[in-house]
A and B are shown apart, each in its own frame.
Chain A
Amino acid sequence: MPFDVVGRVLDNQDLGGGYFLTTIDAPAIAGVCEPGQFVMAGSTDPTELLLRRPFSVCLVGPGGGGARSAVAILYRVVGRGTGFLSRLVKGDGAALLGPLGQGFSMPRAGETPVVVAGGVGIAAFPFFLERLAAAGRPADLLYGGRTAADLPMLAWLRARAGSVAVTTDDGSSGARGLVTGPLEARLADPGARRDRLYVCGPHPMMKAVAAIAARAGVPCEVALETPMACGYGVCVGCVVEVHDFHGEYGRYRRVCVDGPVMDASEIRW
């Protein structure tokens, strides 16, 4: 069950390049959330910022209530909501609703977890990478960004992933090109390995990865991001179109309650 709380900001880290990592004390949410779930974060004053914004739970860590009592969100400042959050300082209150939605599934026996992240899409994964490492199933990370400045948390990730392959559009870090390059190379290798893909990034990148996964016949989970007013199922603003019309909402499914993590093959890209 989600909790609606006002959490105190414990830390607001400027990671450079417009990226921020904001840690908020929220024991109720931190204690139960799962990798891939999200929170709605915003102002406690609706005249300051009317709607909250959806953010993946990037990390769960220590706070006032013990080892697992704070949540951290990672974002790039793009508008009023992220601008508001980036200006919060230690001690400020933030409205937080969560945990919300469906998270990632753990890899099945014999599967190798492969995380494919584009830019700030990495925000969906640090918590998951920790979980995988703790389970003795470290993931291989394919991490793409526009430039070297668009690879937040890279050093942290290198310490937790089984392997890391980096690409940038301009070649300023890792291989020049798109993150789909090393993915296709990997999937072309007819080894005994069985991969399960976990993807988050810009829509065109996720669409491309979903197509590659479908061709290679490997399972692929995507963490979707769409504009949301509520995050808990009532506004019906965040829908994606799906192939299977079985649901009572017809050909659209709500990202907030049916996602944000969905099977890539379900989505009409």
Chain B
Amino acid sequence: MSAVRLETEIGGGLRLKNPVLTASGTCGYGLELDPYMDLSRLGGIVVKGLSPAPRAGNPPVRIVETPSGMLNAIGLQNIGVRAFVEERLPQLRGRGTAIVANIFGERAEDYREVAEALAAADGLSAIEVNLSCPNTAEGGMIFGVDPASVERVTRIVKDASRVPVLVKLTPNVTDITEIARAAVAGGADGLSLINTFVAMVVDIERRAPVLANGTGGLSGPAIRPLAVHLTHQVARAVRVPIVGMGGIACGRDALEFLIAGASAVQVGTITFASPGAPLRILDEIEAWCDARGVLDVRELIGSLRPWRESAS
């Protein structure tokens, strides 16, 4: 095996064994991936967004593929924080990987309620605050586009939590760095970005949206360069660690995010296409570092240099 050090830190002193996590909404509650990989090899698992009560989600049609991407409008269907704490978390903890609970709410009070329910549970490594779901009227984006709301909700969760708090940012704003700074002002230990872009596909025969929700969130390789750019912008604007994501399909994609300033990455849409993808990506990161004499993956974080002509 190679001698590459893969440990990284994503805020509030939370150390991960490596920089690859599974993204919220693409790995269920983690256990669904059990048949396809050794979960203990993951840097972490970010579970599907949790609300105070279970939610049924949006009516179908919920997904549609687009060029190098897909739209989803699941509508934050989830089992609720209590079922997670009582039924899923006991099976997840002790699996040798960081467990991150993604949370959302309709009102600021909901975020407090979920955070408090999680604070009473054992085995959680961090909370990721979803201030960015575009698919429900109340899925957090209403908070995520307003700096004052971001700071307030972040503070509420931070005060209610015993574990590090990451805030997940939406790209559907004019200036993401303003939102990032607001989250840090509210006490965020780290930031994760980006959530999906609001998008629409039209069925021209019916002259209607393909998705029952009308719009959905665009994810997948199509958004990767946008996500790398936003990661770079935020990395220059704040001092807390960043978890980058958006269309990562291979190790080289993940390395772009690390070099642009992310301390870790989340793998999402590609896991739908290939359930073993997160560990393949981890192996590819390690192999790349090994081949280039990079002994510690942290050397890469934010190592982006100015453009220059390549030596020839």
Contacts and interface: CB of A to CB of B under 8 A. Distances in A.
Interface of A: 1-2, 4, 42, 46-47, 50-52, 80-81, 95, 97, 226-230, 232-241, 248-252
Nearest to A228: B63
29 contacts: A1-B35, A4-B276, A46-B221, A46-B249, A46-B273, A47-B221, A47-B249, A50-B269, A50-B273, A51-B272, A95-B274, A226-B61, A228-B63, A229-B273, A232-B32, A235-B25, A235-B26, A235-B74, A235-B272, A237-B62, A238-B62, A241-B59, A249-B54, A249-B56, A249-B57, A249-B77, A249-B79, A250-B56, A250-B57
Nearest to B63: A237
Contacts of A248: 54, 79, 83
B33 A234 contact: yes
Contacts of A228: 63
A130 to B, nearest CB: 28
B271 A234 contact: yes
B25 to A, nearest CB: 8
Contact of B36 (A4, A42, A236): A4
Contacts of A81: 65
A80 B276 CA distance: 23
A46 B274 contact: yes
- What are the 9 closest A-B residue pairs judged by CB atoms, nearest first? A250-B56, A237-B63, A230-B272, A229-B272, A234-B28, A237-B62, A248-B79, A233-B32, A234-B32
Interface in B54-77: 54-57, 59-65, 68-70, 72, 74, 77
Contact of B74 (A42, A80, A237): A237
B275 interface: yes
Contacts of A250: 54-57, 77
Q: Say what secondary structure dominates the interface of chain A.
A: loop
Give the contact-size bracket for chain B. Answer: 35 or more
B37 to A, nearest CB: 10
Given A2-B35, A249-B79, A230 B68 contact: no
Contacts of B272: 51, 229-230, 234-235
A233 B35 CA distance: 12
B220 interface: yes
Contacts of A80: 65
A167 B228 CA distance: 55
B115 interface: no
Contact of B28 (A2, A233, A239): A233
Given A240-B60, A250-B77, A230 B55 contact: no
Contact of A236 (B62, B83, B221): B62
A230 B77 contact: no
Nearest to A79: B65
Nearest to A48: B68
Contact of A47 (B59, B68, B271): B68
A227 B221 CA distance: 20
A1 B33 CA distance: 11
B260 to A, nearest CB: 21
Contacts of A95: 274
B127 interface: no
A10 B270 CA distance: 27
Given A4-B275, A227-B64, A233-B28, A252 B72 contact: no
Interface in B31-61: 32-33, 35-36, 48, 54-57, 59-61
Interface in B3-32: 25-28, 32
Contact of A52 (B27, B56, B273): B273
Contacts of A229: 63, 65, 70, 72, 269, 272-273
Contacts of B27: 234
Nearest to A2: B35
Contacts of B48: 236
B275 A232 contact: yes
A251 B56 contact: yes
Interface string B300-311: 000000000000
Contacts of A52: 273
Contacts of A241: 59-60
B274 A239 contact: no
Contacts of A42: 273
Given A97-B275, A234-B28, A227 B61 contact: yes
A229 B70 CA distance: 9
